[in-house]
Every structure is written in structure tokens, then in C-alpha cells.
Structure 1
Amino acid sequence: MLTTLAVENYRSLRDLVLPLSRLTLVTGANGSGKSSLYRALRLLADASRGGAFAGDEFGYALDFGLPVPAETAFGLDPEFKRECVWSGPVLRPARLLADRAGPVVRTREAGGSWSEDKHEIRLTDSMLSEFADPRRAPELLMVRERIRSWRFYDHFRTDAAAPARVPRIGTRTPVLGHEGGDLAAALQTIRESGDDEALRGAIEHAFPGSTLEIGDVEGRFALRFRQHGLLRPLDAAELSDGTLRYLLWVAALLTPRPPELLVLNEPETSLHPDLLPALAALIAKAAKTAQLIVVSHARPLIHELESVSAGLGIEATTLALEKEFGQTVLSGQGPLDRPSWHWPKR
């Protein structure tokens, strides 16, 4: 589990060091920096901007900056200035396992000494992608695979032309796509390979008396939603935006293949307040098998998540962001409250 997230000099996140738990709830007013934090996480996952994380086993930091203008015409194309992988939650020179300064990468040998071989990579490439070798640098490989397993969901489309409203060829789908076009296949996969009881419970919790059907027409899966009181089921094209969005969250959160880290950005969008308790129950259930970061400005959802997680015995932390002289800070965090953190120098 990740225990610390640090971001420096990205938008309004000039110097932010956050503690993370099994379920981390990030809230704050509009413009407080929530979206910047979400984007920084995505950019960190893409290894394309400055940011870092640490857990009990490994930590990773990268420093991105602009090139020297006189040396290239691509003056706006960022370069890797420094990358480090270390053991344990805090960066210390003795715990460095792999270190990249400019184009040069060096790694530790089994005995703890630095390898005499120094390897050069391009300034626009990450050592995670270019130098993750199971024999020479197994720690880099482990960190890379961890980051690649992170999953992000942000504002599912529910308009009339949304991919989730159109039947598609059905294939086993343990992980819902980011655009949601494979919704019917993902729900059917949960039925056959996942927690069908939880799926039925999530539908009943939000829409009492309703049932979900997956139609198969010449290999194309189509969603049909039967609600109490209606004479016929509704297909995906007829569902309201809120109903369709809730079903998308059901498919995403009940995945049979949970990631190591799942990040949700404003999951309450387009949902009626009556659906928030059901959504909170889904998120808390997902936190049993994956670490979650939920970014939301909806206080009712935050309160529901705090209540449900406490009832399930899940460690939850609420982080309230605010602006202070144009800089995003964690509300109530003093200099001595920050997690221990040290940035690598260029």
C-alpha cells in the first residue's frame, strides 16, 4: 500500500506531501487543487511530470524539467532530470537501489555496492521503461509493474452518443474500459467470473425491485434494465444519465481483477443524492481488495464513505485541500504533521 504522495511545483501544488491510507478521501472547495492532484497522479503514472510516492517496500521519485534552450529546438519538450528508486518509505542515500542523473543510470549489485557499469538512456525516456530488467534491476521492474497496474476513472460519458449506450461484441472483460463502451460485457463478466451476489446487491440497493439483463444478439451484448412498475426493460440508450453512470461505477468497482491502486475523480457527477449511499457502499467494498483515492467535492458522499468505511473496519483518511496565497495546502497540516519526505537533488 502507498503511504505517502508528494508533488512539487505542479500547477498550484508547489510543495504538497500527503499521507495515504487504504481509502483516502480528497475534498475541498472548487479551485482548491483537487483536479491538479488527480492530474498529477495520472502524470506520475505516465512518468511524464514531477511527482513521487512511497510505500513500506519501495519508493519512487522523478524530477522533470525543460531542456537547455541552446542544446535543442524542442524547448518545450520536458526531459528527465533525476529518477530514484529506493527501499523503504523514506529516501536515504544508503537505501537507493537505482539512481538516474541526466542520461546516466546506475544500479546496486546483490552485495550492496554500486555496479561499475553505468548505462546511458535518452533524456526523454524513463529508466522504468528502458532499464527494468529482471536480472540487472529487478526492483525497477517491480516498481514499473506496480505503476502500470494503477487504474483511473474520470467522468464517464453518458450523453446520447456515449459508447456505453451502444451494443458491442461481447468478450470477457474483467476490467472496464475508461470510455465504458464495454459495460455490458464487463457486467456479464462479473456475473460469471466475479461476485454476482454483490452485483445483484448493488442494483437492489440503488434501485429496489430492479434487475439487470444482458442480451446477446449475434454475439453483440446489449444492456437491458428492468425496473419495478415498467412493462418492458429499458435498453442502454433509454436509461437516464444518472442510472447509466451508476451502472458504469458498478462495473468499475466490482471488477474481478482489482488493481493495486484505484483513483476515482468526482464519482458523484450526475448522480441523484439518493444514490450516494449505494455508491459509497460500492467504493468501501472495493477498498477491501484495492487501495482507493477518491477525489470529490460532495460532502454528502464524503460523509457516507466515512460512515460506511468505519462500519466495515476500513482505514479511511479525509484530506481537505485549500488555497493559501495561491498555493494548495492540506488543511490543518503543520510543519511537524507532514510525513517524512526528502526529494532527490538534481
Structure 2
Amino acid sequence: MIDRIAISGYRSIQSIILRLGQLNVVTGANGSGKSNLYRALKLIADAAHGRLAESIAIEGGFDSIRWAGPKKNKKDPVSLRLGFTADSYSYCMDLGLPIPADSAFDHDPEVKRECLWRGVGMDAKSLCADRKVTTLRCRGESGKWQDVDVPLSRHGSMLSEYSDPFHAPELIVIRELICSWRFYDTFRVDVDSPARRASIATFTPIMAGDGRDLAAALQTICEIGDSGGLSEAIDDAFPGCRIKVERIDSQMEVYFEQPGMKRDLSARELSDGTLRFLLLIAALLTPRPPAMFVLNEPENSLHPDLMPALAKLIQLAAENSQVIVVSHNAELVKLLEADEICVPIRLEKIEGETKLQEGDLLSQFGWKWPAR
């Protein structure tokens, strides 16, 4: 489980360190920085997947995602730093600008420093992989530092650039951990949504991010997953209703059965809210739960009456995965925070900077960014 997340120099976040639990709820007023927190976490995952440069470009380039406020010290270099700690392994990454070379790509960020260490606190003994721009050294099985003779890309993470089970097994472990994180922002539920179409009839323990295999994912849960939890989640949200999945040749389609209706409704006919809730069920009740779920405003387009059912579904997912929920729905937040395992994280913006409400120095104790 991730114990702490540290972010420095990302959009409205100059510096913030969050302590996490099994279930975490991030709240705050509009514009307080909730979405920036979500995107910063997503950037760590994209780095592990080998999509760091692409993700930064999609967000508008490095100039668009780095700290937008004034520097505390004008001599400090441009820096965007992301990291987390866990009981097993911890990780951090420092992005900055390259040395100017009269190139059109002088504003593309490069990785200045990456560190991977065992346990929560980083020191010389716990460090097991250390990357400085294009050079990398790892301890390996011998416990002695070895320089890695691999040409690293300046714009990619060592997590995706290097893999060796003998010289750097820890890199593989942490990469697989981060790559298992699943992010759900908003599912498309418009008339052309992939979730409204029939699915390919194939075993689907993990639903695609756009929900195009919704029917197959629901059927997989029925056969090898928590079928009882699925039925209960549907009945909590829509009393007396149930779903069934029908296979026609190589495709599957989900149908929604409602009391008093003479025929079942296909996914094409469902309301936006009903379809979105089915997508959330398929995502959160996956037979292969990830290390962490990150949900950004899962309550979007759902009726207020569905908040108790949504909260119960999220709590069920938190039994097998660490969960971070970003929400501004007061009812959902209240229901989740009533759970004794929930860690409330309340953000506020003061003079343009995202800060943790009632934050103190204790939350930052023990965290230190490595020098370049």
C-alpha cells in the first residue's frame, strides 16, 4: 500500500505531501487543485508505462504543467518532482529543462534524477537504483553498485527504459506495481459511446478504459468474480432490477431487466446515469483487483439517490485495493468518510497555491527530495 505521495512543482501544487490509507477521499472547492492531484498521479503511471513524454505533450507541454507561481528562490532550477513511499519500495522522479542547445525542443523536459529505494526513508544503504539524466547504476544481487551500460532516453523513465531481473529486479517490481494502478476519470455515455455497442465475446477480467467490452467484463465477473456483489450493487442502485448478458455468435450484449417492463433494455437504450453506474460496477468489481484505484469524480451524471449505492461499491473495492476518490459531491464524501478506514484529504487554494487544509510539518517528516 502507498503510504505517502509527494508532489512538487506541478501546476498549482508548489509542494504537497499526502499521507494515505486504504480508502482516501480528496475534496475541496472548485479550482482548489483536486484535478491537478489526479493528473500528477496519472503522470507517475504514464512514466512507468513508457508514455511520459507523450503525456506531457498532450497536457500542453512542460510549460503548461510545471508550477505556475513564483519561485521561492529565483536561482532554483525549473523542477517538477513526483514520488511516493511504501513499506516495500519507494520511488521519486525529478523533471527539468535540458541545457539549451538552440533546438526547437529545448522546452521538452528531461529526467534529471530518479531514485528507487527500499522502505520508507531513503538513505545510502536503502537506495537500490539511482539515475542521473542518462546514467544509471543499480545494486543488483551482489549488493554492490554497478553502472548500467544502456543508453537511456533523456525523456523517459528508468522504469520503462531498463529491465533486468538480475541487476535491477526492484525496477521490475515497482514498474509492475505502478502499471497495475487503474485510473477512471469519466466514462463516455453519449449515443456514440463504445459502451453502448456489443462486446467481443472474450474473457475480460479487466474492462477497457472506455468500456467497449462492458458486456464481456460483466459476464466475466458473473463467472469467476463476485457475482453476488454484482447483483447486490445493481439492486442497491436499482431495486428489483438485474442484468443479463447474451452471446450472439462472436459478440456479447448486456440487457437490463426492470420490474414492470415487458422487454429488457439494451445498453443502447439505457439512460446515461444507468450506463455509467454499470461501467463503475464492471470497473470496481474486477476479478483482478489492482494495487490502487484512482477515481476522479465518479458521481458525474449520477442521480443523488445513487450516492449510497456508489459509496457502498467503492467501499467494497477498498477491501481488495487501495482507493483514492476525488470528489466534490458532499453526500458521497460524507458517506465515505463515515467509514473508519477512510482518510479525508481536504485541499484549498491560498493565493493561487494548492495546500492541504490543516496540514502540518508532521506530514512532511522524513521526506527529502534527492539533489540533482
Query: What TM-score results when the alignment is normalised by the length of structure 1?
Result: 0.95
Select which of 79, 82, 86 maps to 2:113. Answer: 82
Distance 1:281 1:147, change over 3 A: same
Say whether residues 1:51 and 2:77 are aligned partners: no
SS at match of 2:364: coil
Offset, 1:306: 2.1
1:270: which partner in 2?
301
Distance 1:121 1:204, change over 3 A: same
Greater Cα shift, 154-163 or 92-101 = 92-101
SS at match of 1:94: coil
In 2, are the aligned partners of 1:105 and 1:120 still within 8 Å (CA)? no
Q: Distance in 1 between matches of 2:140 and 2:201?
A: 48
Q: Distance in 2 between matches of 1:113 and 1:135?
A: 12
In 2, are the aligned partners of 1:106 and 1:119 still within 8 Å (CA)? no
Please identify runs of 4+ aligned residues in structure 1 that moved more than 4 A: 116-120
Say whether residues 1:179 and 2:210 are aligned partners: yes
2:17: which partner in 1?
17
Offset, 1:116: 5.6
Q: Which amino acid aligns with 2:345?
A: L
2:359: which partner in 1?
333
SS at match of 1:25: strand
2:38: which partner in 1?
38
Residue-by-residue CA offset, 1:78-109 (whole Å, 9 max, x unaligned): 11110000111122232111101111101114
2:3: which partner in 1?
3
Offset, 1:305: 1.2
Distance 1:321 1:116, change over 3 A: closer
Q: Distance in 2 between matches of 1:339 and 1:43?
A: 24
Distance 1:46 1:116, change over 3 A: closer
Residue-by-residue CA offset, 1:171-207 (whole Å, 9 max, x unaligned): 1111111101111110000001101111111111111
SS at match of 2:146: coil
Say whether residues 1:98 and 2:124 are aligned partners: no
SS at match of 1:192: helix
Q: Distance in 2 between matches of 1:109 and 1:175?
A: 33
Residue-by-residue CA offset, 1:298-329 (whole Å, 9 max, x unaligned): 1110111122x33xxxx210100000111101
SS at match of 1:121: coil
Offset, 1:46: 1.1
1:197: which partner in 2?
228
Residue-by-residue CA offset, 1:278-306 (whole Å, 9 max, x unaligned): 11111101101111111111111011112
Query: What TM-score results when the alignment is normalised by the length of structure 2?
Result: 0.88
Select which of 252, 266, 269 maps to 2:283. Answer: 252
Offset, 1:67: 1.4
Offset, 1:121: 1.8
Distance 1:273 1:69, change over 3 A: same
Identity of aligned residues (%): 50
SS at match of 2:42: helix
Q: Distance in 2 between matches of 1:113 and 1:133?
A: 15
Residue-by-residue CA offset, 1:91-143 (whole Å, 9 max, x unaligned): 22321111011111011144533226665422123211222210011111111
How large is the Cα RMSD of the aligned pairs?
A: 1.4
Write out aligned runs for 1:1-346 (5 A).
1-47=1-47, 48=52, 50-70=81-101, 72-115=103-146, 119-307=150-338, 309-310=339-340, 315-346=341-372
Offset, 1:152: 0.6
Q: Distance in 2 between matches of 1:274 and 1:121?
A: 52
In 2, are the aligned partners of 1:21 and 1:317 still within 8 Å (CA)? yes
Distance 1:327 1:213, change over 3 A: same
Q: Which amino acid aligns with 1:343?
A: W
In 1, are the aligned partners of 2:98 and 2:106 still within 8 Å (CA)? yes
Residue-by-residue CA offset, 1:243-286 (whole Å, 9 max, x unaligned): 10000000001000000111111000000111111111111011
**Structure 2, gaps ≥5 residues long:** 53-79
**Structure 1, gaps ≥5 residues long:** none
Q: Which amino acid aligns with 2:10?
A: Y
In 1, are the aligned partners of 2:17 and 2:363 still within 8 Å (CA)? no
Greater Cα shift, 286-295 or 166-175 = 166-175
SS at match of 1:209: coil
Greater Cα shift, 281-290 or 328-337 = 328-337
Q: Which amino acid aligns with 1:317?
A: V
